[in-house]
Chain A
């Protein structure tokens, strides 16, 4: 019977441990009024020239969020500054592959 109770205990301890080991991949951009932003078309044009393949562009946290392939041909999710079109973050399923130094 004791074993039956140990399993939930392991689950619990792991739960608490798992909660502690995370780093946020969420980006936010201090990009001000949207009228000053470069357009999605400009973003796509620029990064396509840089070697990206764009599948979808969304807005998230004042940044452009791009789903597609990076120049290394990895299927990723990336954030770009809407004012400068600079790449800020590349992540794959939550794993950060690149983050621009602050």
Chain B
């Protein structure tokens, strides 16, 4: 059982699950517009989960909670990121398919809900392309610096979501847990640094 759970394909299978109903709907001739929301939402969710892991590990350690499951996910964080990109790619392709007019896409490009989405997707591309062991080894320290671009992508994703829906509710429900964990991380870091200053 453990062998199956820890198999890389098992995790990819879980990550692919949300795409099954989407593919079925598309194959049954459903309007691509109806799939815009779920594809974008799953992309954001996976990105948020990937970003939450490090501060979550910090929290669990400080609280003496079990860290096994966080570590299990941390080992698979790159896959989470790549899956987030795949859903973002699907989301972008569905948008193009739904619009099917360069003129219409250009016309709405200046709206705050649209250019932010394109920018978030553009940032995602190099992050996804370097999410392989060869790139990690080749880039060394620069890999981490590059992957920090996800913070910028997250910011644009959030603005994209709020403006496209013209309603901050659903976007904030997803982003607030991440924000809370980031506050925790900053507070912990500040405490730690103060303790170091005092001891020297």
A91 touches B166 (CB 8 A): yes
Beta-carbon nearest neighbor of B109 in chain A: A93
Q: Does B12 contact A (CB under 8 A)?
A: no
Once the chains bind, are A75 and B104 in contact (CB under 8 Å)?
Answer: yes
Q: Is the CB of A94 within 8 A of B113?
A: yes
Are B186's CB and A25's CB within 8 A?
no
Residues of A within 8 Å of B175, CB to CB, are 15
The verdict on A36 contacting chain B, using a C-beta distance below 8 Å, is no
A49 is an interface residue with CB less than 8 A from chain B: no
Are A24 and B158 neighbours in the complex by a CB distance under 8 Å?
A: no
With an 8 Å Cβ cutoff, the count of chain B residues facing the other chain is: 32
Bound CA–CA A7/B155 (angstroms): 11
| Min CB gap B96→A, angstroms | 13
Q: Are A75 and B164 in contact, CB atoms less than 8 angstroms apart?
A: no
Residues of A within 8 A of B166 (CB): 22-26, 91, 94, 96
Stretch at the interface among B19-27, B83-91, B177-185: B177-185
| B114-A7 in contact (CB<8A) | no
Q: A11 to nearest B CB, angstroms?
A: 5
Min CB distance B56 to A, Å, is: 13
Between A19, A26, A74, the greatest number of chain B beta carbons within 10 A of the residue's beta carbon is seen for A19
Whether B107 pairs with A11 at a CB distance below 8 angstroms is no
Q: Does A46 contact B (CB under 8 A)?
A: no
Residue among A14, A75, A91 making CB contact with B155, cutoff 8 Å: A14
19 contacts across the A-B interface (CB closer than 8 A)? A5-B186, A7-B151, A8-B182, A8-B186, A11-B154, A12-B183, A14-B155, A15-B179, A22-B162, A22-B163, A22-B166, A23-B166, A24-B166, A67-B33, A75-B104, A91-B166, A92-B111, A94-B112, A95-B163
Q: Residues of B at under 8 Å CB distance from A?
A: 31, 33, 99, 101, 104, 107-108, 111-114, 148, 151, 154-155, 158-159, 162-168, 172, 175, 179, 182-183, 185-186, 189
Chain A residues with a Cβ under 8 A of chain B: 4-5, 7-12, 14-15, 18-19, 22-26, 56, 67, 74-75, 91-96
Known: A8-B151, A22-B162. 6 other contacts (CB 8 A): A10-B155, A15-B158, A26-B167, A93-B164, A95-B112, A95-B163
